[in-house]
Amino acid sequence: MRNASRIFFLLIVSCGLALAQSQYKVIYNFHGLDGASPRTVILDPSGNLYGTTLSGGNKTYECSNGCGTVFKLSPNQDGTWSETVLYAFCNIGMLCRDGYEPTSLTMDAKGNLYGTTYFGGASCCGEIYELSPSQDGTWTFNILYSFCSLDSCPDGENPSGALAIDAAGNLYGATVSGGNNFNGVVFKLSPPSLPGGTWTESVVYDFCSDIQNQACLDGFDPRGGVTLDSSGNLIGTTFLGGQYLKGCGGEGCGTVFKLSPSSGAWAYTQLDATLASVGFGPVSPVVTDSAGNVYGTFELGGGKGNGALFKISPNGQHSSQPLSAAENGYPQAALVLGNTAIYGSTLGTGSNKPGTIFQITSTGQSILHKFCSAKNCADGTSPLGLVSNSSGVLYGVAEAGGTGCSGGGGCGVVYMLKP
C-alpha cells in the first residue's frame, strides 16, 4: 500500500492492455435459493468471506426472484468452500419490514456484521441492520434503523454504497435520495449508551445545499457511500452535481468530497477541482492510503468514454489514468491497493466484453482476467466487489454467469484470483 502513489505516477498507459498471467478460480456458484446477483464481499481475520446478494432467497410479492441474502463462505482443507446463508430478507411482514435488496456490508472488531438494504424497512425506504454471531454458530438479525421515519424523509431515503464504522461503533453511510433537499444525505448512526437501547440517526450532510442557477454545486446522488480515513474524515463521491455541468446533461459531472468533524459539526470540502475534464459519474467507494491519498474511479469519461482512475493527494494535487475502451470499461467497484500494484474491476463495455480484473503497476496496465472466457460464462460476468487478503490473493463477486442457475444467464459467482 505504501507504493500506491509511486505506481500511479509512474504508470505509462498503452492503447491495448496486455493479458497478464494469473490464476483465476470460481469458489462458489449461487443457485437462487441461497442468493443471486452478489454485490459485495468482505474478509474476516480468519479468511472467511461475507457478502450480500441483491436477489435470491425468499420469494415474495415484493420480489418474485427473491429479496436478497447475507452469506458466509468458509474455506475447507481440500480447497473447496462451504456456503452458509446467514439471513434471507423479507422475513418480517408482507411489506418486508426487515428490508430487501441488501447492498453494503462491514464488520466490527467483535465479528458483528452491519449492512443496508435499499428498500423495505418500516417505511419502505431502506434500513440499517446488524447480524451478530453466537457461540452455537447461529446469527441474530436486528433492525437498527429504518429510513424515511419522518414526513418528507429528512433523515434520508434508499441507502447505498460503502458503510463505514469508527472505533466507537458509530456507523456512517449515504442515501441516494431524501434529506431536506431531496438529493441524498450522509448519515451517522450512533449505538445506544445502554444495552438494549435504540440507535440514533443524525444527518452529517444534506446534499444540494449549495445551489446556483438551479445547479447543486456540492453534488447529489452519493451512491458510492463513504469511507473513513485515518484522521476521522468521511470521504465519498456524488454521481451528479458539482461545478462542471458541460457534457453531463446539465446536472453536473459528479464530485469527490470530504466531510471533516469540527466542534460537533462537519465541514464540507470538494476535492475534485480539476478532475471533471478527465472523467465523470463516480459511483465506486473511494479508498485511502496511510499517506492520506484518495483513490477512486469514474464510471464514464476518461477520453475513451469508458471510465478512468483518479488519485487526489492531501496537498490537492490530482492525477488520473483512463481505461482502454477496447478491453476495459465502466468500473463500479472500489480499487484494492496492493504493495506493488493497484487492482480493480470493470463491468465491461458490451455483451462481448463482459468485464475484467485489471492491475496497474509502475510499468503499465494489464488484464488479469477477462470474464465470460469459459463456455456459457461459467467463470462469471459483470464483476463488482473486490478485496485482498494479507498474501495478496484477490477475492470478488460477479453478479451474473456461473453454473448455478440454468436458463437465466447464471446467478453469479464468488471467485479468487492470484495475480
Confidence band, pLDDT 50/70/90 cuts, at residue 155: very high
Is pLDDT larger for residue 389 or for residue 248?
Answer: 389
Domain that holds residue 131: 4-418
Residue reference for cell 473511494: 286
The mean per-residue pLDDT over the stretch 387-409 comes to: 90
Instruction: Round to whole Å and give the CA distance between 208 and 268.
Output: 12
Report residue 145 as a C-alpha cell.
434503523
> Residues of the chain with pLDDT > 70: what percent?
90
Task: Provide the whole-model pTM.
Answer: 0.93
Give yes or no for residue 61 having a pLDDT over 70: yes
Summary mean pLDDT of the chain: 89
Give yes or no for residue 367 having a pLDDT over 80: yes
Confidence band, pLDDT 50/70/90 cuts, at residue 21: low
Q: In the beta sheet, which residues pair with residue 129?
A: 115, 143
Instruction: Round to whole Å and give the CA distance between 126 and 226.
Output: 17
Residue reference for cell 447505498: 160
DSSP string across 282-346: --SPPEE-TT--EEEEESEETTTBB-EEEEE-TTS-EEEEEPPTTT-----S--EE-SS-EEEEE
Give yes or no for residue 183 having a pLDDT over 70: yes
The mean per-residue pLDDT over the stretch 190-215 comes to: 90
The mean per-residue pLDDT over the stretch 84-111 comes to: 92
Domains contained in the chain, number: 1
Instruction: Residue 92: give its domain's CATH number.
Output: 2.120.10.30
Burial class (CB in 10 A: 0-12, 13-18, 19+), 28: buried
Q: Report whether 312 contacts 257 (CB < 8 A).
A: no
Give yes or no for residue 8 having a pLDDT over 90: no
Q: Report whether 418 contacts 393 (CB < 8 A).
A: yes
pLDDT value for 316: 81
Give yes or no for residue 186 having a pLDDT over 50: yes
Tell me how crowded residue 342 is: count the other CB atoms within 10 A of its CB: 24
